[in-house]
C-alpha cells in the first residue's frame, strides 16, 4: 500500500492528527520527535479515512465552489437582508434573544454564539437551502441557553425543528 501525499506540520504536540482542507490538501500534524517512518505508518493506517474525506471534500468543492466577487457580494447582501428577519422570528418563538449579530466570512463555521450571547453567521451559509439556514439560526439561538451540544441543547432545537437532523444533513451534502 502506498502512502498518500501529505503536507507535514510538526509542533510541540503529543499526538498525530490528519486533516483534509477545503482545497483538498492532506495535512498531517505530528510531534517534533516522531520519525517520518512512524508518521507514514500512521497515514497508511488511515488511508481509507483519508480517501473518504477527500472524496467528500471534492464533492463539496464541486457543489459549492468558491464564489466569484460578484456572487460573494450577493451572498453578503442576502445575509444582511434575510438573516435579521429569521433571527427575529425564531427569537420570538424560542424566547431567546442575542445581544448582537455579525455577518462574517468564516469558512469553517456557519455560525457561532459567544459567551456574551453575540451571534455570528457566515455569509457562506446563504449558499445552502433555506431549511438549512433556518436550522443554523435556531442552532445558534439555542446556544444562548445551552453553551454546549448536550441532549438538552438538541431538545431545545427539536422544539422548533423536530426534523433538525435532516436540516443539518443539508449542510454536509
Q: How confident is the model at residue 22 (pLDDT cuts 50, 70, 90)?
A: confident
**Least confident piece of the model among 24-38, 47-61, 91-105:** 47-61
pLDDT per position as a tens digit, 102-135: 999 998 899 999 999 999 999 999 999 999 999 9
> Which of 111, 119, 115, 90 lies closest to 168 in space, CA to CA?
111
CB atoms under 10 Å from CB of 136, counted, come to: 23
Q: How far apart are CA 118 and CA 101, in angstroms?
A: 6
Is the pLDDT assigned to residue 33 strictly greater than 70?
A: yes
Q: At what angle do helices 151-160 and 69-94 cross, to 10 degrees?
A: 90
Domain boundary assignment for the chain: 7-63, 69-172
pLDDT tens digits for range 53-74? 999 888 888 877 889 999 999 9
The whole-angstrom separation of Cα 73 and Cα 90 is 26
**In the predicted structure, residue 9 carries a pLDDT above the cut 60:** yes
Name the CATH superfamily for 69-172: Metalloproteases ("zincins"), catalytic domain (3.30.2010.10)
State the pLDDT at residue 57: 87
Cell triple for residue 100? Answer: 448582537
User: Whole-prediction pTM value?
Assistant: 0.74
- Confidence class of residue 146 from pLDDT cuts 50, 70 and 90? very high
Mean pLDDT (the chain) is 93
Amino acid at each position: 500500500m502506498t502512502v498518500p501525499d501529505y503536507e507535514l506540520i510538526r509542533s510541540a504536540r503529543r499526538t498525530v492528527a490528519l486533516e483534509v482542507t477545503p482545497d483538498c490538501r492532506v495535512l498531517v500534524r505530528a510531534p517534533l520527535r516522531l520519525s517520518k517512518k512512524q508518521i507514514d505508518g500512521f497515514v497508511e493506517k488511515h488511508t481509507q479515512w483519508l480517501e473518504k474525506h477527500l472524496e467528500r471534500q471534492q464533492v463539496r468543492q464541486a457543489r459549492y465552489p468558491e464564489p466569484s466577487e460578484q456572487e460573494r457580494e450577493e451572498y453578503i447582501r442576502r445575509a444582511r437582508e434575510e438573516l435579521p428577519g429569521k433571527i427575529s422570528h425564531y427569537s420570538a418563538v424560542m424566547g431567546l434573544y442575542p445581544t448582537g449579530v455579525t455577518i462574517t466570512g468564516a469558512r469553517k463555521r456557519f455560525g457561532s454564539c459567544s459567551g456574551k450571547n453575540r451571534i455570528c453567521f457566515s455569509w457562506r451559509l446563504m449558499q445552502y437551502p433555506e431549511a438549512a439556514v433556518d436550522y443554523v439560526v435556531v442552532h445558534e439561538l439555542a446556544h444562548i441557553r445551552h453553551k454546549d451540544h448536550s441532549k438538552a441543547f438538541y431538545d431545545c432545537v427539536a422544539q422548533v425543528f423536530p426534523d433538525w437532523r435532516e436540516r443539518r444533513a443539508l449542510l454536509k451534502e
